[in-house]
Amino acid sequence: MKVISQRELAARSKAVLDDVEAGETYHVTRNGTEIAEVRPLGSRRRFVPVEELQRKWRNAPRVDYTAMRAEADEFYGDEDRIGDDDNPWERK
């Protein structure tokens, strides 16, 4: 971790952000008091491999659709619910 003044951050912002992108953390001071932390985003990724998603989904809890439907009916009521045989786009 490096300590840098607000003025130095303004003057060297490109170099500081390059360091942050490389993994460095900065504490920014104003009048000698630390006021901010500039650090890399820890879990920011643009691409997640399919294998990783499959591994995570494999360990995810199972969904009990019957319990979920009962909970939704209890909360919203089931009188206006569209059934499996109903066409939601049919005009009545």
Sketch the domain layout of the chain as residue ranges: 2-38
pLDDT at residue number 44: 63
The answer to whether residue 78 scores a pLDDT higher than 80 is no
For 5-58, write each residue's pLDDT tens digit: 999 999 999 999 999 988 899 999 999 999 999 998 876 667 778 998 898 888
- Class of domain 2-38 (CATH, top level): alpha beta
pLDDT at residue number 41: 85
The answer to whether residue 83 scores a pLDDT higher than 80 is no
pLDDT at residue number 48: 78
DSSP the chain: -EEEEHHHHHHTHHHHHHHHHTT--EEEEETTEEEEEE---TT--S---HHHHHHHHHTSPPP-HHHHHHHHHHHH-STT---TT--TT---
